[in-house]
Amino acid sequence: MSQLFPPSSNTVAPVAVLGVITTLCLLAVGIWLVFGSPYMTAVGVPINQPVPFSHEHHVGGLGIDCRYCHVSVERASFAGMPSTHTCMTCHSQLWTEAELLAPVRQSLEKNEPIRWNRVHSLPDYVYFNHSIHIAKGVGCVSCHGRVDEMPLVAKAETLYMRWCLDCHIHPEPALRAHDEVFNLASKPPTQAEGVARAKANDVRTAHLTDCSACHR
């Protein structure tokens, strides 16, 4: 009785199976790496703006407080963007003819706001409120990174759901003393300090992983 498969099949079959498994594993790793890369997350990738505003200069160099430009961050869900009049508070006296600032002067003349491009953008189905995070002691640096060291602003974190949930489960590392919330150079608290601040600020984690906390 003749064999259905030649003897070489004993070698080819295991090699083929191993090749398929290896290919699938490499494909899975490749997909994981792509979805975690800056190409997908935009982490560390500066966003082009109509005016190349440097936080490194204004915040790190000049020491301007976050709230000077983002005026509603303590009382509203949206941190707010500076109006042209805010920019011109200084630039009506400084660098008044700089070509770089031409869009700012044109904005003032035409009474039209500058169309800034969003850097930190969440889907419409995600609810985020800046004011409650500030009230609970979450430091700006916890989400936005060292903005004071960025010539052009880029995302410091993915803002993925898993990243948010990790903080909602264990918020202690993100908590700062109230007078350090807007200090981008502030260091993360020790575990004991974080636990004490969570208790003092009434940070309750039991409900923070509920769907309704972020999806309303």
Arithmetic mean of pLDDT over the chain? 91
Q: What is the rounded distance in angstroms from the CA atom of residue 182 to the CA atom of residue 65?
A: 7
Query: Hey, what are 31's tokens?
Result: 């997909």
Could you count the other beta carbons within 10 Å of the beta carbon of residue 130? 20
Rounded Cα distance, 128 and 5, in Å: 63
Query: What's the CA gap between 154 and 145, in Å, rounded?
Result: 9
**What pLDDT, on a 0 to 100 scale, did the predictor assign at position 36?**
67
State mean pLDDT over 186-205: 96
pLDDT of residue 25: 82
What average pLDDT does the segment 62-80 reach? 96
Separation of first and last alpha carbons in the chain:
71
pLDDT higher at 14 or 46: 46
DSSP 3-state of 196: helix
Average pLDDT (89-95) is 94
Contact 56, 128 (CB under 8 A): no
Phi, psi of 111 (to 5 degrees): 55, 40
How confident is the model at residue 165, as a pLDDT? 97
- Say what the pLDDT of residue 4 is: 64
Residue 77 corresponds to which amino acid? S
Q: Residue 120 and residue 62: Cα distance in Å, rounded?
A: 24
Dump pLDDT digits (tens) for 114-168.
Answer: 999 999 999 999 999 999 999 999 999 999 999 999 999 999 999 999 999 999 9
